[in-house]
Amino acid sequence: MGTWCTVRVLGPEGIGRVAWPVSGPGRPGLAVVEALARAQVDARRRGGCVVVTDLCDDLGRLLDLTGLFRQVGGQPEGGEDPFGVEEAVEPGDASR
């Protein structure tokens, strides 16, 4: 049985509330991704967030494939807001 990641739930003030390892036999599947997404939704409803660290490669690829890596894949860089908009697209912007 291998450890796939460590899940940390942060409160509204950014302080860690709880952490736990996620592990199982073989490779992680979409059920793990769904559980992480549901945990993130629940944490956001309470004003916090979920951060996943110590990711195994397989889970990292699954989170990237499903578009969830940016939402739970670690600490934001350089004080960025992990849930903010990075770049706005203006109507009529042909470069997009």
Cα–Cα distances in angstroms (integers) from residue 69 to residues 61, 93, 95, in the given order: 8, 27, 26
- Kindly state whether residue 86 falls inside one of the protein's structural domains: no
C-alpha 82/C-alpha 69 separation (Å) is 11
**pLDDT mean for each 10 residues of the chain (96 residues):** 90 88 94 93 92 91 88 54 43 53
- Kindly state whether residue 85 falls inside one of the protein's structural domains: no
- Kindly state whether residue 23 falls inside one of the protein's structural domains: yes
- Kindly state whether residue 10 falls inside one of the protein's structural domains: yes
- Kindly state whether residue 11 falls inside one of the protein's structural domains: yes
User: What does the pLDDT look like over 45-57, one tens digit per residue?
Assistant: 999 999 999 999 9
So what's the pLDDT on residue 28? 95
So what's the pLDDT on residue 24? 93
- Kindly state whether residue 57 falls inside one of the protein's structural domains: yes
- Kindly state whether residue 96 falls inside one of the protein's structural domains: no
Q: Domain residues for 48?
A: 2-75
Q: Is 38 left (phi over 0), alpha (psi -120 to 50) or beta?
A: alpha
The number of domains in the chain is 1
- Kindly state whether residue 81 falls inside one of the protein's structural domains: no
So what's the pLDDT on residue 69? 84
Predicted TM-score (pTM) of the model is 0.70
